[in-house]
């Protein structure tokens, strides 16, 4: 019997599970997330190993879904010094790189920007030849001053030659420095793609230290497993891939929960309501995968266009603070978070939380119910009605039609919600709902995705689709998928009427099982 361990870091708790080779849970553990994140991961791992009592030499895979990268961007801490190179002169000079970025994050990454001649038109024609001389000058100028380089060329998703050549020149001059290329990260839309590429470049060291400390924690427990990171489309990537594309780990927590909910509830199309200690994240399952957002997404105040899950988050969780004042009862949006076991009334603290409300009403059994007996019935009823209204409102906002849909409740905080909700055809609360996120990390497949513009006149529609599928499969293999198990899980093609050559934008995702 072989095993796999899945760990997911949330804002409040870090969860861990061990699954056997039939993907059945053998052990689970939940521990408060620590300020440095790593401490919580160590603790969750040792707890779940004690509980599972499995032979550690039989643990073959270890999966981590972590908030390290998200936290680094939001807190502006531990970010790399980045050289931002845009290839597009004489065009693209009017709006400089990093325009619209908050000043503090610009300063955190060094605010070094360079414009270089080159780039392509939307149909693949060169705007200007690549200015290789200028690139070599820049490389010498930044030597020893930056940790990482972000290169964005105009219309690189159509023609990536200039980005690839520029990366080669930078490496010739600077040796083995991490280089992020925009055509591998974002889609059409220069500024947002550039932003995503710069953020990616700024996170390389955070990803490396996270990976190294996770591997060290495993080795300390005597585990020699193949390590994977959760990414934000609900699939996994090998650790080397995660160190190259750390931005893809942003928002992997909610997508792990969505995949875990799908697996536990045996549903492929449903709404997933994941209630943690601080927030409720609502996402949509489409064919077993999280629905993707179709709009530009802001991360830490920076507008980007790389793929992100379509989520709505509200400030409602198991530790959300309930107040009564002049305006009546208000819920949140702030939470006691991982301090719930010290600060909530049921644990002997002095802060009224949503968990206290449901315990006082007899709808859940947390801590010591005697400590909330004194609460007024009217206060409790008002607060509970507001909790349900907030949940029903966010469910309504996520639905694309008025038809009721199945709703899967997961996350440790979901005990604050009832078994019936308006807009839900049924409310499913599967077994192990409290660690759906860690289960989602452990059971996930490996995927590859491409998004490119193809000329139908040159290739024909079938030829373009075939080529796109082959490229997506290639990406999935690179990320660690078993070639024999890969299938195409998503195809989208959008004709671009304003481009010559009967152009169409094709996006394909391929996913497969882990390569054993």
Domain ranges of the chain: 80-202, 314-435, 445-512
Q: What is the pLDDT of residue 347?
A: 96
pLDDT attached to residue 168: 98
Q: What local confidence, expressed as pLDDT, does residue 72 receive?
A: 87
Average pLDDT over residues 218-235: 90
Instruction: Give residue 147's pLDDT band: very low, low, confident or very high (50, 70, 90).
Output: very high
Average of per-residue pLDDT values in the chain: 92
Q: For position 316, what pLDDT does the model report?
A: 93
Residue 239 has pLDDT above 80, yes or no: yes
- Name 226's Cβ contacts closer than 8 Å, sequence gap at least 6: 60, 61, 62, 238, 480, 514
pLDDT in tens, 397-440: 999 888 999 999 999 999 999 999 999 999 999 999 999 999 99
C-beta atoms surrounding 35 within 10 Å: 9
* pLDDT cut 70: percent of the chain above it: 100
425: exposed, middle or buried (C-beta count within 10 Å: 0-12, 13-18, 19+)? Answer: exposed
Percent of the chain with pLDDT over 90: 68
Residue 166 C-beta-side C-alpha neighbours within 13 Å: 36
Alpha helical stretches, state H, 234-376:
239-244, 252-265, 340-343, 354-360
pLDDT tens-digit profile of 291-348?
988 888 888 889 998 888 899 889 999 999 999 888 889 998 889 888 888 999 999 9
Higher pLDDT, 348 or 454: 348
In angstroms, the CA 494 to CA 414 distance is: 39
Read off the pLDDT of residues 9-22 as tens digits, 9 standing for 90 and up: 887 889 999 999 89
Decide if 269 contacts 208 (C-beta within 8 A). no
Token pair 């943690």 is found at 276
Residues in Cβ contact with 505 at an 8 Å cutoff, skipping those fewer than 6 apart: 188, 451, 452, 453, 454, 493, 494, 496
Q: Which residue has the higher pLDDT, 152 or 505?
A: 152
Q: Which residue has the higher pLDDT, 337 or 465?
A: 465
pLDDT in tens, 19-60: 998 999 999 999 988 878 889 899 999 999 999 989 999 999
Average pLDDT for residues 118-123, to the nearest whole number?
Answer: 89
Q: Omega of the bond prior to 118 within 30 degrees of 0, cis?
A: no
- Write down the pTM of the prediction: 0.85
The pLDDT of residue 74 is: 85
The residue-averaged pLDDT of 171-186 equals: 94
In the block, tokens 């004194």 appear at 374
pLDDT-wise least confident of 342-351, 356-365, 453-462, 464-473: 453-462
Kindly tell me if the per-residue pLDDT of 62 is higher than 90.
Answer: yes
Of the pLDDT bands very low, low, confident and very high (cuts 50, 70, 90), residue 111 is: very high
C-alpha span between 18 and 380 (Å, rounded): 38
Confidence check: pLDDT of 463 > 90:
yes
Read off the pLDDT of residues 439-451 as tens digits, 9 standing for 90 and up. Answer: 999 998 898 888 8
Q: Are strands 226-230 and 179-181 parallel, antiparallel or unpaired?
A: unpaired
Per-residue pLDDT at 499 exceeds 80: no
CATH architecture assignment, domain 80-202: 3-Layer(aba) Sandwich (3.40)
pLDDT score for 33: 85
pLDDT value at residue 383 = 96
Whole-number pLDDT of residue 36: 81
Highest mean pLDDT among 170-174, 288-292, 294-298: 170-174
Q: Tell me: the pLDDT tens digits for 255-277?
A: 999 999 999 999 999 999 999 88
Please check the confidence at residue 500 and state whether its pLDDT lies above 90: no
């Amino acid at each position: 019997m072989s095993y796999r361990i899945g760990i997911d870091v949330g804002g409040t708790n870090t969860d861990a599970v061990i699954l056997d080779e039939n993907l059945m849970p053998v052990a689970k553990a939940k521990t408060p997330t620590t300020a440095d994140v790593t401490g919580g991961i160590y603790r969750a791992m040792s707890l779940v190993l004690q509980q599972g009592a499995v032979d550690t030499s039989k643990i073959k895979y270890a999966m981590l879904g972590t908030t390290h990268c998200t936290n680094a961007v939001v807190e502006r801490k531990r970010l790399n010094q980045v050289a931002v190179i845009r290839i597009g002169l004489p065009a693209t000079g009017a709006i400089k790189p990093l325009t619209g970025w908050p000043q503090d994050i610009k300063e955190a990454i060094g605010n070094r920007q360079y414009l270089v001649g080159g780039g392509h038109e939307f149909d693949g024609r060169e705007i200007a030849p690549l200015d290789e001389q200028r690139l070599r000058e820049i490389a010498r100028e930044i030597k020893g001053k930056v940790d990482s380089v972000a290169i964005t060329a105009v219309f690189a998703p159509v023609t990536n030659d200039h980005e690839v050549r520029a990366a080669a020149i930078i490496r010739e001059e600077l040796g083995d420095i991490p280089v992020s290329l925009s055509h591998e990260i974002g889609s059409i839309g220069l500024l947002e793609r550039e932003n995503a590429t710069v953020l990616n470049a700024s996170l390389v060291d955070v990803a490396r230290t996270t990976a190294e400390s996770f591997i060290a924690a495993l080795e300390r427990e005597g585990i020699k497993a193949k390590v994977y990171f959760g990414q934000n489309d609900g699939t996994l990537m090998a650790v080397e891939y995660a160190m190259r594309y750390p931005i893809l780990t942003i928002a992997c927590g909610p997508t792990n929960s969505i995949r875990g909910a799908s697996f536990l509830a045996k549903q492929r199309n449903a709404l997933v309501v994941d209630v943690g200690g601080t927030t409720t994240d609502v996402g949509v399952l489409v064919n077993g995968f999280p629905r993707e957002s179709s709009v530009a997404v802001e991360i830490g105040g920076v507008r980007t266009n790389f793929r992100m899950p379509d989520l709505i988050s509200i400030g409602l969780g198991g530790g959300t603070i309930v107040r009564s004042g002049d305006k009546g009862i208000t819920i949140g949006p702030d939470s006691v978070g991982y301090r719930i076991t010290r600060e909530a009334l049921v644990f002997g603290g002095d802060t009224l939380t949503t968990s206290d409300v449901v315990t006082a009403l007899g709808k859940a059994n947390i801590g010591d119910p005697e400590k909330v007996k004194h609460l007024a019935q009217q206060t409790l009823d008002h607060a509970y009605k507001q909790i349900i209204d907030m949940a029903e409102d966010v469910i309504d906002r996520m639905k694309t039609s008025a038809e009721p849909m199945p709703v899967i409740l997961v996350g440790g905080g979901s005990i604050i919600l009832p078994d019936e909700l308006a807009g839900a055809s049924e409310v499913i609360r599967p077994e192990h709902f409290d660690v759906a996120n860690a289960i989602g990390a452990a059971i996930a497949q490996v995927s590859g995705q491409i998004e490119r513009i193809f000329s139908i006149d040159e290739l024909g529609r079938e030829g373009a689709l075939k080529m796109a599928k082959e490229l997506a499969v290639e990406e999935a293999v690179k990320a660690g998928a078993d070639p024999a198990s890969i299938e195409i899980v998503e195809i989208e093609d959008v004709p671009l009427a304003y481009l010559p050559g009967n152009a169409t934008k094709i996006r394909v995702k391929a996913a497969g099982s882990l390569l054993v």
